[in-house]
A and B are shown apart, each in its own frame.
Chain A
Amino acid sequence: MSAVLELEGVRTRLAGQWLHDGVNFRVNKGEVVALIGGSGSGKTVLLRECVGLLRPTSGRIQLLGQDLWSLSPEDLNRLRQRFGMLFQEGALFSSLTVAENVAAPLREHTDLPARLRDQVVALDIRLAGLPLDAAGKRPAELSGGMKKRAALARALALQPEMLFLDEPTSGLDPISAREFDRLLRTLCDSLGLTALLTSHDLDTLWGMVDRVVVLNDGKVIAEGPVAEVAKVDQPWIQSYFSARTSSKGATNGI
């Protein structure tokens, strides 16, 4: 298995504290990996470092065969066309319609004529499971679940090899969340995508993730398939995974 993403000794100092103190893990091609950890454990920060938004204090991040933080700005932008990012709140451009949002990366990075671009946009919207009549709507008119799908369609527009997802199911009701999980899994399997996501949703972890990476106190304290990680005898992991057994139906750990 070839590694699509590899983190080596990533250390991050934020506000005078070491948020990450030597994080190591890798994500192989075709895998869906979840990054878990308590609130404030730096999951989102780590994700932002992986997509080139925030420079780690030290350490190396190898993404799609390139050392992310030693790239020139031009090369970094070229690399950015090869992965997609789904932000927690969707981060759709609020003054554009859904279709224009999805078309935005295509306009910028390809020279497709309008007819082909519209076809690709319509396909991405369908792939993300949105009805086509949502295409003409503004993000403010969409429900939370539809916003996430629209953002997913935009992330898929440039045919990325890797997807980063920050809390893809947060703010969704359990039914929509499971649907979104299924959609994501189908897309990853069919389009051959690799995905790294952060999540608090135990059902997502049990349902669709190949591997889990547990971040605690700035380090990776466990990694592996969910069933194995859940058995690790570590206080934080135990309380995290028992959050569900003790209160059935609650989906948010901690």
Chain B
Amino acid sequence: MTDRQSFTLESTESGAVLRLAGEWRLAHLVEMDQALAGAVWPKGRLTVDGAALTGLDSAGVMLLYRRLQAAGVSWSQVDLAGFDAERLPLLDLVTDRLTAPGAAVPAPPGWLARLGRWVSEAVGVLPDWLNFLGRVGAALWQVLRRPASLRGRETVVQLEAVGLRAVPIVALMTFLIGVVFAYLLGIQIEKYGANIFIVDGVSMAMARELSPLLVAILMAGRSGAAFTAQIGAMKVTEEIDAITTLGLSPMQVLVLPRLIAIVIAMPLLTFFGDVVGIAGSAVVAASQLDITLVTFVNRLKDVLPLDMVVYGLYKAPVFAAAIALIACRNGFAVSRDARSIGERTTSTVVSSLVAVILINALFAILHPEAT
């Protein structure tokens, strides 16, 4: 029997007979479906003859059942003939399961429902945030009252991860930015013979904006992403539930050490960035602009007010706190599926960058006198 002729339908005196032939399997389902679509079904009883079948699987039975149902022939009106004995259980099982009443597959929600869900989720973020901030605040208050309850060991481990291990990359980035900045500024400044002002420009820019922002961006990508992934993975493996069940507070154990570590590490890294960045520009100044290191340092003492360095440094812990809170909150918001961790980590990096830029703008507006 060829695949083309998968069934024949004939009318006899006692009723119609549907003779099935060939392979009624998933692999041929589309052809069968098209062939059956063109059939004209007789009224009354129907005999299905499976003597010429060479293959049958559940998808094939399902197709026959669905087509007959669509044509108004219910399975109870169907007589079976000629089927191999071993195929009968298959027919029974599939038709039995298909006949059993069951709720229909729920339709996917329409655009209005999706919009509604999106809005309610977006609004729902606010109480979640308040809840999270409240719990962090409560944990922090407890640590302030009883400093011994701080997880010292974990805080030091985090301090090493977010602070010490970030030193090489901070040094590399700020040094290179210092070099490039001094080089480009030097080209312009040279035209006016105002070489010495390279010190003013570079040191102020570094201390006030560049170093704090560079370090914050690095931290958001490096430590923020790590916090979210760590806490998210613990959420997935139910470790956070285990912490709670053991009578410990996830805020105390997970969030505070990270928050405190990054708040301590960030100003230190920022100051380190100030120094390395200015050193980078001093190298360019010495080689391109004929300003010796001694001249550079002497000029630096005169033109870089301590205020400005401090201004840059006290932005750092605020950036740090924003990054840590966003990262930890995203970690806790991970749901128990594989994609969620990736989405949340991305969200952490993007939101913390936006937060850092916004906070920086806010500082600039609130402290115009620091210029």
Residue on A nearest B33 in the bound complex, by CB: A116
A127 to B62, CA, bound (A): 11
Docked-complex contact A126 and B59, CB < 8 angstroms: no
- What is the minimal beta-carbon distance from A191 to any residue of chain B, in angstroms? 6
B 41-89 contacts with A by CB, 8 A: 57-59, 62-63, 66, 86, 89
A 217-231 contacts with B by CB, 8 A: none
**In this assembly, does B180 line the interface, its C-beta being within 8 Å of a C-beta of chain A?**
no
B30, B33, B58: which contacts A123 (Cβ < 8 A)?
B58
- What is the minimal beta-carbon distance from B14 to any residue of chain A, in angstroms? 29
**In this assembly, does B294 line the interface, its C-beta being within 8 Å of a C-beta of chain A?**
no
Which A residues touch B66, using CB under 8 A?
119
Docked-complex contact A126 and B98, CB < 8 angstroms: yes
- What is the minimal beta-carbon distance from B107 to any residue of chain A, in angstroms? 9
B 1-32 contacts with A by CB, 8 A: 25-27, 29-30
A 13-34 contacts with B by CB, 8 A: none
**In this assembly, does A110 line the interface, its C-beta being within 8 Å of a C-beta of chain B?**
yes
A94 to B335, CA, bound (A): 10
Docked-complex contact B62 and A123, CB < 8 angstroms: yes
- If the complex has contacts A94-B336, A112-B29, are A190 and B105 also in contact, measured as CB distance less than 8 A? no
Docked-complex contact B100 and A192, CB < 8 angstroms: no
**In this assembly, does A95 line the interface, its C-beta being within 8 Å of a C-beta of chain B?**
yes
Which B residues touch A111, using CB under 8 A?
30
Docked-complex contact B93 and A110, CB < 8 angstroms: no
Q: Dominant SS at the B interface? A: helix
**In this assembly, does B90 line the interface, its C-beta being within 8 Å of a C-beta of chain A?**
yes
30 contacts across the A-B interface (CB closer than 8 A): A93-B338, A94-B336, A94-B339, A99-B105, A113-B30, A118-B105, A119-B62, A120-B29, A120-B62, A122-B105, A123-B58, A123-B94, A123-B97, A123-B98, A124-B58, A126-B97, A127-B93, A127-B94, A127-B97, A131-B102, A132-B102, A133-B105, A133-B106, A135-B106, A136-B105, A139-B337, A140-B336, A156-B58, A158-B26, A190-B94
- What is the minimal beta-carbon distance from A28 to any residue of chain B, in angstroms? 15
**In this assembly, does B239 line the interface, its C-beta being within 8 Å of a C-beta of chain A?**
no
**In this assembly, does B148 line the interface, its C-beta being within 8 Å of a C-beta of chain A?**
no
Residue on A nearest B109 in the bound complex, by CB: A136
**In this assembly, does B92 line the interface, its C-beta being within 8 Å of a C-beta of chain A?**
yes
Docked-complex contact A126 and B336, CB < 8 angstroms: no
**In this assembly, does B103 line the interface, its C-beta being within 8 Å of a C-beta of chain A?**
yes
Docked-complex contact B30 and A116, CB < 8 angstroms: yes
- With a 10 A CB-CB cut-off, give which of A127, A156, A187, A190 has the most chain B CB atoms: A190
Interface string of A39-82 (1 = CB under 8 A from B): 00000000000000000000000000000000000000000000
Total interface residues on A, using CB and 8 Å? 34
Docked-complex contact B105 and A135, CB < 8 angstroms: yes
Docked-complex contact B337 and A190, CB < 8 angstroms: no
A129 to B62, CA, bound (A): 16
A93, A132, A189: which contacts B104 (Cβ < 8 A)?
A132
Which B residues touch A118, using CB under 8 A?
105
Docked-complex contact B97 and A94, CB < 8 angstroms: no
**In this assembly, does A251 line the interface, its C-beta being within 8 Å of a C-beta of chain B?**
no
A93 to B337, CA, bound (A): 8
- If the complex has contacts A112-B30, A131-B103, are A190 and B92 also in contact, measured as CB distance less than 8 A? yes
Interface string of A97-121 (1 = CB under 8 A from B): 0010000000000111100101110
Residue on A nearest B26 in the bound complex, by CB: A159
**In this assembly, does A138 line the interface, its C-beta being within 8 Å of a C-beta of chain B?**
yes
- If the complex has contacts A123-B94, A127-B93, A138-B337, are A191 and B105 also in contact, measured as CB distance less than 8 A? no
- What is the minimal beta-carbon distance from A177 to any residue of chain B, in angstroms? 21
A119 to B63, CA, bound (A): 8
Which A residues touch B335, using CB under 8 A?
140
Give me 6 other A-B pairs in contact (C-beta within 8 A), A159-B25, A191-B57 excluded. A110-B26, A111-B30, A127-B97, A139-B337, A189-B89, A190-B90
A247 to B335, CA, bound (A): 40
Which A residues touch B25, using CB under 8 A?
159
Interface string of A161-204 (1 = CB under 8 A from B): 00000000000000000000000001101111000000000000
Residue on B nearest A94 in the bound complex, by CB: B337
| Closest 5 A/B residue pairs (Cβ) | A94-B337, A95-B339, A190-B93, A190-B89, A140-B336
A182 to B57, CA, bound (A): 20
